[in-house]
Amino acid sequence: MKRTLVTLIFFLVTSLLLSVTASAAEKKNNPCLECHVEFRKPVKIEHRALNLGCETCHMKIEAKDHPRDKDSIRLTQEMPGLCFSCHKKSKFQNKDIHAPVASGNCTGCHNPHRSDFDMLLVKEPPDLCYACHNREKFNKKYVHQIITRRCSCHNQHASENPHLLYASVFQVCTDCHRARKSGNHVVSSLPSGKVHPVDGVPDPRDAKKMITCTTCHNPHSSEYHKLFPKPRICKMCHKFY
């Protein structure tokens, strides 16, 4: 029993010494960790740039004493140029660009170091989106369930489609609502075998716009059944309906 206790104490002391030695080596290799202790804590996602060293993105101002002087450390480049030194710039350029991306505010959505959320996000979507977008517009009586799945209809950075959609409105909607791809929607027995148009036809209220799924449905939430924007929506186009 005594021998077992001595062995246990030996292993505990050895483990403690190894831990202290490793910590000292860590501080020597990266002195930033002496102050920024939060980077030693376990986290789900770490930015791979951390493996390149802090000096990859940060530089010391020679005329100032760090950490005593304010602004004694700055980025090696301004954002988003710094981010584009690793991330391909063309992926963030298109016809429609998300406002934070256009303004170079990458850290508005992403933590540049580490995060407990995928893609280094500062919050889990859709809560992250509500930091800019009015939550009330997405939380009416009837809510489109896709909203609970990370706002996945939109490209978060840039897109060739309006509203940052990853494809056309019809394509995005029918990727889930596959039965509507035939165009046989609303009514299925119009004269001469016609079907109500759901895509590719001018909107009778505004010839500059085309009819899409969102002509009759709010893509996010609504006070009306089936995400209609108003009651008796047929009257929006059909005067004598």
pLDDT digit string, tens, across residues 193-227: 777 888 888 998 888 899 999 999 999 999 999 99
Q: Which of 174, 183, 138, 158 is nearest to 166 (CA)?
A: 158
Res. 30 pLDDT band, cuts 50 70 90: confident
Q: Which of 179, 157, 181, 170 is nearest to 219 (CA)?
A: 170
- Report whether pLDDT(6) > 60: no
Write down the domain spans for the chain.
183-241
Residue 77 near residue 85 (C-beta atoms within 8 A): yes
Triad 144, 122, 136: Cα angle to 5°: 35
Sign (positive or negative) of CA dihedral 204, 183, 173, 134: positive
Largest CA distance in the chain: 97
More confident residue, 138 or 16: 138
Give residues with Cβ within 8 angstroms of 119, minimum separation 6. Answer: 45, 110
Would you state the pLDDT for residue 23? Answer: 38
Structure-token match 């740039």, residue found: 49
pLDDT digit string, tens, across residues 157-187: 999 999 999 999 999 999 999 988 877 777 6
pLDDT digit string, tens, across residues 105-145: 999 999 999 999 999 999 999 999 999 999 999 999 999 99
pLDDT digit string, tens, across residues 68-103: 999 999 999 999 999 999 999 999 999 999 999 999
- Rounding to the nearest 10 degrees, give the CA dihedral for residues 199, 204, 209, 215: -60
In the beta sheet, which residues pair with residue 203? Answer: 206
**Residue 12 DSSP SS3:** helix
Would you state the pLDDT for residue 17? Answer: 41
pTM score of the predicted model = 0.79
In the beta sheet, which residues pair with residue 96? Answer: 159
